[in-house]
Amino acid sequence: MKGTYKIADRIIEIESIYPRVHEYCKDYVFSGTPEISVSISPSDIDYERERATDGLYPDDYLEELAVYRKIASAMVYYGTFLFHGSCVAVDGKGYLFAAPSGVGKSTHTKLWCDYFGNRAVMVNDDKPLICVNEKGVFVYGTPYNGKHRRGTNICVPLKAVCLLSRGEENKIAPVSVAAAYPYLLAQTYRPQDPNALAITMVLLDELTEKVKLYRLSCNMHIDAARVSYEGMNEG
């Protein structure tokens, strides 16, 4: 099965074994000459199965993972890399929250949507693509937006990146690149190809130079959204 999609401003042709990936990407359907071609073989699915240590998954789900892995590896040659985080936009500017799985990224960005109402739009709740170029840093929605499918097919400039942790009180402060870097690196997809990996590291370095970084300790009350927003906008 074949389909053509536009993801992060790149036209991508996907040739799959199963139809599930095309249903997954339906909001990104596009007509045009492909810049990236992704083709899945049974060995690609086997690779994902070997990596999936937390359960048994059907082949069509594993194929979704294989497709995005190949897309992410190709995207770095267009100045774009995959990041594990939850990104919400307010008034057209993106705020990206990074933390290990289970800390509460999705819960926190949902608080932003509740607090800001129509001013807020979920960009991507799981695996956004980040583009770094001469104009700045931009975050794209993608089909891979988490188990709750919270995301939008949009692009927004990235205002700030925030390292999220839980705490009894809501506190936010700037964090240095040196302190933030290990956490950002852990959430960055690192391709196996050495050349693609080298480009990814350059893009991550450029992100830390162009975007402000913060550390947030928060509870899961709605006031956490106000505190974090004001902290990243200097009050």
Give the model's pLDDT for residue 235: 52
- Side chain identity at residue 72, one-letter code: A
* Fold held by 81-232: Rossmann fold (3.40.50)
- Side chain identity at residue 155, one-letter code: C
Beta carbons of 102 and 83 less than 8 angstroms apart:
no
Q: What is the DSSP letter of 45?
A: H
In three-state secondary structure terms, 49 is helix
Give the model's pLDDT for residue 25: 96
Show pLDDT as tens, one digit a residue, over the chain (235 residues). Answer: 999 999 999 999 999 999 999 999 999 999 999 999 999 999 999 999 999 877 789 999 999 999 999 999 999 999 999 999 999 999 999 999 998 888 789 999 999 999 999 999 999 999 999 999 999 999 999 999 988 899 999 999 999 999 999 999 999 999 999 999 999 999 999 999 999 999 999 999 999 999 999 999 999 899 999 999 999 998 5
Give the model's pLDDT for residue 200: 98
Q: What is the DSSP letter of 36?
A: E
Rg (CA), the chain: 18
Sign of CA dihedral 121, 189, 136, 37: negative
pTM passes above 0.85: yes
| Phi/psi of residue 125, nearest 5 degrees | -100, 10
Catalogue the long-range contacts made by 53-62 (C-beta closer than 8 Å, 24 or more residues apart).
59/17, 59/18, 60/17, 60/18, 60/19, 60/20, 60/21, 61/20
Instruction: Record the tokens describing residue 92, joined without a space.
Output: 């057209």
Sign of CA dihedral 198, 139, 7, 41: positive
Interatomic CA distance for residues 9 and 214, integer angstroms:
28
| Phi/psi of residue 61, nearest 5 degrees | -70, -45
Residue-range domain boundaries for the chain: 2-78, 81-232
Interatomic CA distance for residues 105 and 112, integer angstroms:
11
With CA atoms as reference, report the closest residue to 183 among 55, 54, 96.
96
Please name the residue that has the structure tokens 């852990």.
186
